Amino acid sequence: MGKGRKFLIAVAAVAVLVVLAAFFAFKPASVPVDKASRMRSAARAAEWLRSQQQKDGSFGALTLTAEMVEAISSAGQDVRSPRWTPGSTSLYGALENQTREYLKSGKRDAGVIAKIVIGVISAGGNPRNFAGYDLVRELKSTYNPHNGLYHETNLFRDSFALLALAEAGEKAPNQAVDRVFREKRDRGCWGWQIGGKGCDTDTTAVTLLALAANGVPQNRVEDVFRFLRRREHEDAGWGSWDSQTESNTNSTAWALLALKAYGENPRSDKWAKRRLLWKTNPLERLLKFQHRDGSFWYLDDQEGGRVLATCEALLAVTQDYPGDEK
């Protein structure tokens, strides 16, 4: 073999080594997704959220306070404890105060009441006797039997009503479930606007949660899962709309909750995505939104509404998923 050929082979070998080194240098950092690791992530998220709690015990808006009660409870923490009592009122007490004020004002939004019901139940409370009201009765009073809706314009809120009633042990009327199916778009998805044409991941996922809670079998929503698979990005996360090409924390969290509701394993080949030689999955994608301070940013490079993002991520990472037992 001539010297020139040997030289070319050596150069080629070095080039291959350089390419391989660069290739493996850019391997995405893996994130452990076992249940114990996720609960440690949840503890960090809860600690950051505690730093955002207001002096009156709330998180500002009533619906956010209610969702926080659910999220913190899902992390195994007591929302009545001194840990969640920055002043004289605990997080749970703040929810009670805000609920009383809201209902005394005469307002009755199905989505708002539904979130309160879910929060109270998650904390071990009684939604039929909370803040001086029977929240289940109040929620049922928003139902319109003429059109099968709990909320006249917003399917996201209507679906929350169905979910909350199921968690309170109340079966939704068949007409209410049928109306949800009539709102389904041709692509096998739902959008927030009643009578609208668009789709979004969050409404689709919450509607799946509501249907699962009301006993709708998966064979009736297979087209919806096909939609979620098409909508899933190559990084194994989800955006809210077709036009959102980046995954976000909230949509990924809601999608995971929908998968869990129907017993889907997010680690399976059905939902995992292969990136070059490595696989990633929706659980890992969600955890990668978490920053060192424990908060979850809305996008990888934009914090957005990170209080809500952290809250909804907490709901998803604390669930038991198929495959956790391995």
Residue 150 clears pLDDT 70, i.e. is over it: yes
pLDDT at 210: 98
CB 151 within 8 A of CB 142: yes
pLDDT at 28 (0 to 100)? 53
Q: What is the pLDDT of residues 201-259, one digit of tens each?
A: 999 999 999 999 999 999 999 999 999 999 999 999 999 998 899 999 999 999 999 99
| Position 112 in a domain | no
Task: Tell me, yes or no, whether 293 lies in a domain.
Answer: yes
Q: Work out the number of other CB atoms within 10 angstroms of the CB of residue 50.
A: 15
Residue 49 included in any domain: no
Q: Is residue 326 part of a domain?
A: no
In the block, tokens 């007409």 appear at 175
Taking only Cα atoms into account, the Rg of the chain, rounded to an integer number of angstroms, comes to: 23
pLDDT greater at residue 23 or residue 273: 273
**Does the structure show a pLDDT above 60 at 27?**
no
Q: Is the dihedral of CA 262, 265, 269, 271 positive or negative?
A: positive
pLDDT interval class at 278 (50, 70, 90): confident
d(CA 240, CA 96): 32
**Residue 304 is assigned to a structural domain of this protein:** yes
Task: Tell me which DSSP letter residue 29 carries.
Answer: P
Residue 304 carries which DSSP code? S
The residue range of the domain holding 238 is 232-321
Rounded average pLDDT over 26-49: 86
Written as one letter, the residue type at 306 is R
Q: Chain-wide mean pLDDT for the chain?
A: 92
Give the N- to C-terminal CA distance of the chain in Å, as an integer.
55
| Cα gap 262→208, rounded to integer Å | 8
Q: Is the dihedral of CA 97, 100, 103, 105 positive or negative?
A: negative
pLDDT band at 81 (very low <50, low <70, confident <90, very high): very high
Quick check: is 121 in a domain? no
Q: Tell me the pTM.
A: 0.90
> What's the domain count of the chain?
1
Give the model confidence (pLDDT) of 83-116 as tens digits.
Answer: 999 999 999 999 999 999 999 999 999 999 999 9
What lies within 8 Å, CB to CB, of 53 at 6+ separation is 59, 84, 86, 91
Say if 28 falls within a structural domain.
no
Inside any domain, residue 254: yes
Note the pLDDT of residue 243: 86
Tokens 């997010």 belong to 266
